[in-house]
Amino acid sequence: MKKYAAVLVLFGTMFSCFTNNNKESKEQKRPNFLFVLADDQSPFDLQTYDPKSILETPNISQLAKEGIVIESARHMGSMNGAVCTPSRHMTMSGRTLWHLPPSAEFQKQTDPHFLDEQTIGAVFNRAGYKTMRTCKKGNSYPGANKQFTVVHDATKRGGTEETGSAWHSKQVIEYLDDREATKEQDPFFVYLGFSHPHDTRNGTPELLEKYGAVNHTDQNSLPLANPKQPVLQDNYLEAHPFFHGHPELRDEERVSGVWKNRDENTIRNELGREYACSENIDIQLGKVLKRLEELGELDNTYIIYTADHGMAIGRHGLQGKQNLYEHTWRVPFIIKGPGLAANKRAEGNIYQLDLLPTLCELAGIEAPETVEGKSFLPVLKGEKSVIRDVMYGVYAGGTKPGMRTVKKGDWKLIKYDVMDGAVRETQLFNLAENPNEYLPEHHKSGEMETDLAESPKYAAKLAEMEAVLLEQMEQHDDPYRLWNQTK
Ligand SMILES: [Ca+2]
């Protein structure tokens, strides 16, 4: 009798082990990742960040409802005019701006570099993931791009299925189809980079029509006004009050359809083109999400939506990405996935370079030792509102040392030291009172709705922020110093 009972217990234990293992393997099914990157998109174009925007992106808005929106997500900046390039290096490697390989500077010296093997594709390959990438060619990190097992890169900025954003989503859908056909069981990491809304913003005819825009190509005339176009942004100016310091900068002077024009017709038409391209990205993203749902993978996939950097298009009288105002320094950042809260917003204070360690933590992978970014999982879990107190930003692609910014709490300092000392400007903003960074030229009535750097009342705050900036420059091995900083 005793023997019989013992056998029963043994069987029972074996059975329960078996069912537990089965349950565990289901619970432990590793998550997939879909990383979506827009090229040149201000967060404020999206209704997720500006409810007044007329840009319709239902799929991106739905991601925000089902996931977490980070308010203060930024890129650390650039040491050259092609801001895309260092931004993409930082995302891929988790390294800070001044610690990137030489290829971050206009893709200079693109020999293999030891960091290449410590980037997203390589890290996820080693962890047993299947990796796939589609994105624009150029202005990125070649050594990291080629680490993905499947790569379909091409620059697609046209207004048709084959020449526009649809091409990128098609590559991903075909990849997912292949996985289904071969019954692939390993989890995937898909990098879905779009080439839009980067200029030239040749939207599809239907979407251009929706936003009242035309693909304007005649430099000697202005595009016609159309009431369907987006209105000028609140912080639009006809001209920036002083020179930004990068002579003959392509993005400020030679973008087809805009050139040096900052009049209302040109800017509203260009915004319409930008929105047409951004809505198309949303439509294409929707197709990929639908395919994931059909495959039963949607709920087990972390979806991250962001852009390499923001964009001005008329705000502050600027057109390009070579400035450090919020519209350009900030990026959209939305994440949803298994175990994450829905419909939440968090401050974050994250950089793009925090992405790799965060994704590693979500996947249960150890991040490479070369990573300098921090995982923001504590923010995603709601344990912290921010992962750092101070944020630092650079534009050093024109005359040197260029522009620098720091943000601490509600306060933000921007400094310009360009044109061999001919332009030395300081701006101090309180972002709680002046989120649009209005300047005196915007003629706003609020006492704090302006640049406060010249106000004696905020002299102590200015001195504090100047000290914070120097500290950040030292901490990040910034090779330059500004005119009023000790060498
Ligand atoms: Ca870009």
333 Cα to the center of ligand 1, angstroms: 15
189 Cα to the center of ligand 1, angstroms: 22
83 Cα to the center of ligand 1, angstroms: 6
Q: What is the DSSP string of 68-118?
A: EEESSEE--EESSS-THHHHHHHHHH---GGGS-GGGTTT-S-S--GGGGG
Average pLDDT on 361-386 reads 98
HSE, CB side, 13 Å, CA atoms: give it for residue 381: 10
The answer to whether the beta carbons of residues 197 and 274 sit under 8 Å apart is: yes
User: Is pLDDT above 50 for 72?
Assistant: yes
446 Cα to the center of ligand 1, angstroms: 34
Distance CA 281, CA 306 (A): 12
Distance CA 210, CA 277 (A): 11
96 Cα to the center of ligand 1, angstroms: 18
40 Cα to the center of ligand 1, angstroms: 4
HSE, CB side, 13 Å, CA atoms: give it for residue 440: 8
Fold that domain 391-475 belongs to in CATH:
Arylsulfatase, C-terminal domain (3.30.1120)
461 Cα to the center of ligand 1, angstroms: 33
291 Cα to the center of ligand 1, angstroms: 27
**In percent, how much of the chain has pLDDT > 90?**
92
Residue 39's nearest CA partner among 100, 98, 84 is 84
195 Cα to the center of ligand 1, angstroms: 8
Phi, psi of 254 (to 5 degrees): -130, 15
HSE, CB side, 13 Å, CA atoms: give it for residue 214: 12
Residue with tokens 């809304």: 197
Residue 378 is encoded by which pair of tokens?
């504590």
Using pLDDT thresholds of 50, 70 and 90, give the confidence band for residue 486.
confident
User: Is pLDDT above 90 for 441?
Assistant: yes
447 Cα to the center of ligand 1, angstroms: 35
**CB atoms near residue 171 (< 10 Å):** 22
206, amino acid identity: E
Distance CA 285, CA 58 (A): 10
State pLDDT tens for residues 143-188: 999 999 999 999 999 999 999 999 999 999 999 999 999 999 999 9
186 Cα to the center of ligand 1, angstroms: 31
250 Cα to the center of ligand 1, angstroms: 13
Q: What mean pLDDT is reported for the chain?
A: 95
Q: Strand pairing partners for 307?
A: 38
139 Cα to the center of ligand 1, angstroms: 8
Residue with tokens 């294409």: 284
The answer to whether the beta carbons of residues 141 and 85 sit under 8 Å apart is: yes
Using pLDDT thresholds of 50, 70 and 90, give the confidence band for residue 21.
very low
Average pLDDT on 319-331 reads 98
State pLDDT tens for residues 126-141: 999 999 999 999 999 9
**In percent, how much of the chain has pLDDT > 70?**
94
Cα radius of gyration (the chain): 24
Residue 105's nearest CA partner among 87, 93, 126, 118 is 87
78 Cα to the center of ligand 1, angstroms: 11
110, amino acid identity: T
**CB atoms near residue 311 (< 10 Å):** 29
Phi, psi of 299 (to 5 degrees): -75, -15
Distance CA 140, CA 425 (A): 31
383 Cα to the center of ligand 1, angstroms: 32
39 Cα to the center of ligand 1, angstroms: 4
State pLDDT tens for residues 31-54: 999 999 999 999 999 999 999 999
Residue 62 is encoded by which pair of tokens?
């739905």
Lowest mean pLDDT among 15-24, 168-177, 464-473: 15-24
311 Cα to the center of ligand 1, angstroms: 9
295 Cα to the center of ligand 1, angstroms: 32
The answer to whether the beta carbons of residues 96 and 476 sit under 8 Å apart is: yes
Residue 189 is encoded by which pair of tokens?
């990491």
56 Cα to the center of ligand 1, angstroms: 21
**CB atoms near residue 174 (< 10 Å):** 15
State pLDDT tens for residues 275-314: 999 999 999 999 999 999 999 999 999 999 999 999 999 9
435 Cα to the center of ligand 1, angstroms: 23
Instruction: Sketch the domain layout of the chain as residue ranges.
Output: 31-388, 391-475
Pairing of strands 188-197, 77-78: unpaired
Residue 192's nearest CA partner among 127, 148, 159 is 148
Alpha-carbon distances, residue 417 vs 132, 198, 394, 405 (angstroms)? 42, 28, 12, 12
328 Cα to the center of ligand 1, angstroms: 11
Query: For the whole model, what pTM was predicted?
Result: 0.94
Distance CA 307, CA 377 (A): 20
399 Cα to the center of ligand 1, angstroms: 21
Distance CA 205, CA 257 (A): 16
465 Cα to the center of ligand 1, angstroms: 29
Distance CA 40, CA 197 (A): 6
- N-terminal to C-terminal alpha carbon distance within the chain: 88
Distance CA 78, CA 96 (A): 11
308 Cα to the center of ligand 1, angstroms: 5
441 Cα to the center of ligand 1, angstroms: 28
Average pLDDT on 210-217 reads 97
**CB atoms near residue 437 (< 10 Å):** 22
Query: 244 in helix, strand or coil?
Result: coil
305 Cα to the center of ligand 1, angstroms: 14
Crossing angle of helices 355-363 and 84-93, in 10° steps, is 30
Fold that domain 31-388 belongs to in CATH:
Alkaline Phosphatase, subunit A (3.40.720)
198 Cα to the center of ligand 1, angstroms: 6
Pairing of strands 402-408, 390-395: antiparallel
Distance CA 95, CA 352 (A): 10
